[in-house]
Structure 1
Amino acid sequence: MSVSFDFTDDVALVTGASGALGSAVCTAFADAGATVAAADVVAPDDAPLDAERDRIDFYEGDFTNEDDVARVVSEVVDTHGGLDYLANIAGTWRGGTPIAETDAETFDFLFDVNLKTTFLASKHAIPHLRGGDGSASDDAPGDRRGAIVSVSARSSLEGGEGDALYRASKAGVRLLTESIAEEETGEVRANAVMPSVIDTPANREMMPDADHEKWVVPADIAETVLVLCSEAAGVTSGAAVPVYGEA
């Protein structure tokens, strides 16, 4: 059974757009007819993102910096007339050392990139995602079409050896998502996806001996992001959805 989405006339902001998963989410939204505001601190020149294709506009900004986030969100809303969806894809991994040997800079880095970006993007997007501001919401005020999907991680569900700060930051994303869902009940839906290892060139290079066939490709995760933004998940909010297949 094939599945298709129609996000025509909708506007989606995607953070971390120059990465493997972010670019896949941008492509999926654009293929479904949405206007995509692709945001990243990294310009798409050497990234998988095709910023030249129809319906994708790139916005350069550091989403750990609140002034940058406010500017980008304002530019997106001013240019496109509203905002319907936010995909918090920006994130990274660091690990390899136990807590007793991990420096404080690693803590700051992981919580900035994984959790602070999600917080700041959500904070500034939520007023525009509520009924009556975005294009989709204007058509049917109060139908909860405004949606946020953020990226947590399977490893956020339990402690582990060597990457405690990554796990903690991704657990923070999950709890932040649940809190937004509670605070915005009836206005904005908020859900998270939980990948394990994503099948990217960088991960294959980092783990050459792993069973890559069990890893999930970014395009498949992007489809789940679209499901959670779509009307098919209109009664789903506060969920953390596994997207790790057999990994």
Structure 2
Amino acid sequence: MDANFDFTDDVALVTGASGALGSAVCAAFDDAGATVCATDVVEPSDEDALLDGDRVAFYRGDFTDESEVESVVSEVVADHGGIDCLANVAGTWKGGSPVDETDEGTFDLLFDVNLKTMFLASKHAVPHLRDREGAIVSVSARSSLEGGEGDGPYRASKAGVRLLTETIAEENKGVVRANAVMPSVIDTPANREMMPDADHDSWVAPADIAEVVLFLCSDAASVTSGAAVPVYGEA
């Protein structure tokens, strides 16, 4: 069964747009007719993230820096009149060390990129989303549901995304919906290179996760807010 979404006349702001998942979310919104405002700290590369849709505009910004977040959001609103959807995709992974062997810089990096970007983007977008009764979808992780060896700060930062999502939903009942998606390992060239012996067939493609992001931003999910939706296949 095919699912088709119509975001004509909607403005979607997507963070982490230069990555594999972010670019897939941008492409999905573009295919659905939205005006896509893609933002990232690095320019998209031709190989990894082609932001070549008809209605995709790139705004460079470091979303760990509040002044840059405020500037990008203000520029998007000035250019396009408002924001209907915010997709908080910016994120990173680092692991491999027990907590007592994890350096402070790794901890700060994970919380800055995974949680602080989501907090700042939501903080500055929410007033504009209220004007249009819009929606936020943020990327948490399956591993945020429990502790595990070697990547505790990552899990904790992604658990923070889930809890902040629930808070935003509670604070904006009936006005702005906020939900999260929880992927496991995403099927990207980088992950395949990092884990060549893994069962790649069990991984979920970025485009499939992007479809769930669109669903949660659409009227089809009008009764859903504060949810954390699994997007890791049948595992």
Deviations 1:50-74 (A, max 9, x none): 3333100000000000000000000
Q: Percent identity among equivalent residues?
A: 77
Amino acid at match of 2:105: E
1:170 corresponds to: 158
1:47, distance to aligned residue in structure 2 (A):
5.1
1:244 equivalenced with 2:220 (yes/no): no
Residues 226-241 of structure 1 aligned to structure 2 (within 5 Å): 226-241=214-229
TM-score (norm 2): 0.98
Rounded Cα–Cα distance in structure 1 between residues aligned with 2:189 and 2:52:
22
Whole-angstrom CA distance in 2 between matches of 1:229 and 1:25: 12
User: How far apart, CA to CA, are the structure 2 residues paired with 1:245 and 1:187?
Assistant: 31
> In the alignment, what sits opposite 1:118?
118
Provide the rounded CA distance (Å) in 1 between the counterparts of 2:6 and 2:15. Answer: 21
Within-5 A mapping of 1:89-128:
89-128=89-128
| Residues 75-224 of structure 1: pairs in structure 2 closer than 5 A | 75-131=75-131, 137=132, 144=133, 146-224=134-212
Cα distance in 2 for residues equivalent to 1:187 and 1:149: 15
- In the TM superposition, residue 187 of structure 1 has moved relative to its aligned partner by 1.0
Q: Equivalent residue of 1:86, what SS? A: strand
TM-score, structure 1 length as denominator? 0.93
1:27-42 pair list within 5 angstroms: 27-42=27-42
Separation in structure 2 between the aligned mates of residue 69 and residue 223 of structure 1, nearest angstrom: 26
Match of 2:55 in 1: 55
State the shift of 1:44 in Å: 1.1
The answer on whether the counterparts of 1:18 and 1:47 sit within 8 Å (CA) in structure 2 is no
> 1:45: Cα distance to partner?
3.1
Query: 1:34 and 1:19 mapped to 2: Cα distance?
Result: 19
Paired residue secondary structure (2:45): helix
The equivalent of 1:141 in structure 2 is: none
- Deviation track 1:195-243 (CA, whole Å, cap 9, x = no partner) reads 0000001100111110000000000000000000000000100000000
Kindly indicate whether the alpha-carbon contact (under 8 Å) linking 1:26 and 1:38 is maintained by their aligned counterparts in 2: yes
Do 2:27 and 2:53's aligned partners in 1 also have CA atoms closer than 8 Å? no
Amino acid at match of 2:153: L
The alignment of Structure 1 onto Structure 2 pairs a total of residues equal to 235
Letter in 2 for 1:38: A
> Distance in 2 between the 1:45 and 1:23 partners?
10
Q: Given residue 5 of structure 1, which amino acid in structure 2 is its aligned partner?
A: F
State the alpha-carbon separation in 1 of the partners of residues 227 and 124 from structure 2. Answer: 21
Q: 1:100 to 1:21 in 2, by over 3 A?
A: same
Q: Indicate conservation of the 8 Å contact 1:197/1:216, yes or no.
A: yes
Alignment map for 1:59-70 (pairs within 5 Å): 59-70=59-70
Secondary structure of 1:38's partner?
strand
> Partners in 1 of 2:139 and 2:35 — Cα distance?
21
